[in-house]
Amino acid sequence: MIKFRWYYDKDIEEDFLNNMSKRGYELVDFFLGFYTFKKCEPNEYTYRVDLIGNKNREELEDYMEILKDSGAILIRRWGSWATFKKRGEFELYTDKDSQIKLYTQIRNMFGYISVIELVCSLINIIPPCIYKYPYFGNLYVGILLGLIFLVLIIQVFKCNRKIKILKNNI
């Protein structure tokens, strides 16, 4: 079975994957939002999505080795993200400090990308509005980039909210 989903929030993606596992579907691959599942026993696997782009090569190799030794299986890396599965219960970040650090890194990544998107959007929107010559192709690109900026900045605010909740629960 193939399902299409586009996630920017790792927690929502994990919920989707773990709900599919509860229904008896194992994630075997994904690419560009297309998730490929096969039948398995209900609740056979637990899925976790992690930000790995912040690790250097040596740290990443050590991290992957630790996860492999624990029984976790890497399904696929996608840019700065990786998706893992493991039979039974499975957590990557068990203490509040490591969760705060993770969400801070995710927030910063989305924050940097959103600033770039905003600048690119303005570069494409301002010239057609000022010079009023046939330059409309870039106007539409600017609007699209502006929408992407909005999606990314929402993720920054969601991460801020998660960090605040975690800090209040310490």
Question: Is there a contact between 10 and 47 (Cβ–Cβ < 8 Å)?
Answer: no
Q: What's the pLDDT band for 8 if we cut at 50, 70, 90?
A: confident
Strand order in the sheet with 34-39: 2-4, 34-39, 25-31
Residue spans of the domains in the chain: they are 2-87, 96-168
Question: Is there a contact between 38 and 25 (Cβ–Cβ < 8 Å)?
Answer: yes
Q: Tell me the mean pLDDT in the region 16-26.
A: 96
**What are the E-state strand segments in 25-72?**
25-31, 34-39, 45-51
Span 92-146, pLDDT tens digits: 998 999 999 999 999 999 999 999 999 999 888 777 666 666 555 577 888 899 9
Instruction: Determine the residue type at 79.
Output: G
Question: Is there a contact between 159 and 103 (Cβ–Cβ < 8 Å)?
Answer: yes
This prediction has a pTM of 0.84
Question: Is there a contact between 46 and 85 (Cβ–Cβ < 8 Å)?
Answer: yes
pLDDT for 36 beyond 60: yes
